[in-house]
Homo-oligomer: A and B are copies of this chain.
């Protein structure tokens, strides 16, 4: 996957709620090989995490003994080993100091990367996995500013000199799914190609009226009812309204937002890109596999590399 390939030096595992990815990482931090599986922590019954991991990375460890780092929801209460949360500011060295080693039944040692928490006036916030991606981004020179990580629970992360200094979670993705699947708003929706105009109309409504979301959501019903937007466009209008509301609230909450680094190259990141630009912000992209760079930098800071 990389033109410069050195000897394998590390295995990095990004183990989330609904999927996991493992990377074979070289001595220069490059990804030599990668595997993925839908066996996220909620899909593994009986917490048989070791068997899942052995099967996935078995071909790599059969030849050579490598340190293993794992990050993500695998360190939550419903995961393999629950680790405490680290506090801000947090960089590669802090995460290296906070690594939680665990010896599996087969004798392999797995170093779990802990999550991060922060206490805001309104309540606590937490992340598990995103911190490793942010650390990885700094290897690409993306080590300052605001990072937006779209997803079920999107994260807005403030980074200074490669250290995470603040972050907030927005439940936008999960709320979209609940509203589409389980309210009257979803009854008009049909599968359809992305309707960028409807999405942009929703974004504009969200940016304008973000403080009145419980009311504005009703327009997802009335606009098609009154023939103002086509029925097939309602899902994209709702998506735009929610993401626009998120962008409006998040940009109000941050004083100097600067250039926004979007993590990931998915369809969802494309939507955030449109909404962020509609809000007058500059954006750039970080690739999704920066998590492997994060595993590498944390392992190196912990002295685990050869």
A interface with B by C-beta (< 8 Å): 117, 122-126, 153, 168-172, 174-175, 177-179, 181-185, 205, 208-219, 222-223, 225-226, 228, 242, 245-246, 248-250, 252-253
* Contact pick for A245, options B125, B208, B214, B222, CB 8 Å: B214
* Contact pick for A211, options B172, B208, B249, CB 8 Å: B249
Main secondary structure of the interface of A (DSSP, over half): helix
**A218 and B179 contact, CB distance less than 8 A:** no
**B210 and A211 contact, CB distance less than 8 A:** yes
**B253 and A123 contact, CB distance less than 8 A:** no
Give this chain's copy count. Answer: 2
* Contact pick for A171, options B153, B168, B214, CB 8 Å: B214
Give 6 A-B pairs besides A123-B218, A171-B215 with Cβ atoms closer than 8 angstroms: A122-B216, A124-B226, A174-B183, A212-B253, A214-B245, A215-B249
User: Which residues from chain B contact A124 at a C-beta distance below 8 Å?
Assistant: 219, 222-223, 225-226, 228
**A123 and B205 contact, CB distance less than 8 A:** yes
**A215 and B126 contact, CB distance less than 8 A:** no
User: Which residues from chain B contact A122 at a C-beta distance below 8 Å?
Assistant: 205, 208-209, 212, 215-216, 219
* Contact pick for A123, options B178, B228, B246, CB 8 Å: B228
**B249 and A218 contact, CB distance less than 8 A:** no
**A214 and B226 contact, CB distance less than 8 A:** no
User: Which residues from chain B contact A183 at a C-beta distance below 8 Å?
Assistant: 171, 174-175, 177-178
**A169 and B218 contact, CB distance less than 8 A:** yes
User: Which residues from chain B contact A245 at a C-beta distance below 8 Å?
Assistant: 213-214
* Contact pick for A252, options B179, B211, B216, B242, CB 8 Å: B211
Smallest Cβ distance from A215 to chain B, in angstroms? 5
**B253 and A170 contact, CB distance less than 8 A:** no
Q: What are 13 A-to-B residue pairs whose CB atoms are below 8 Å?
A: A122-B205, A122-B219, A123-B216, A125-B218, A125-B222, A171-B218, A174-B184, A175-B217, A210-B211, A211-B248, A211-B252, A215-B250, A215-B253
Smallest Cβ distance from A222 to chain B, in angstroms? 4
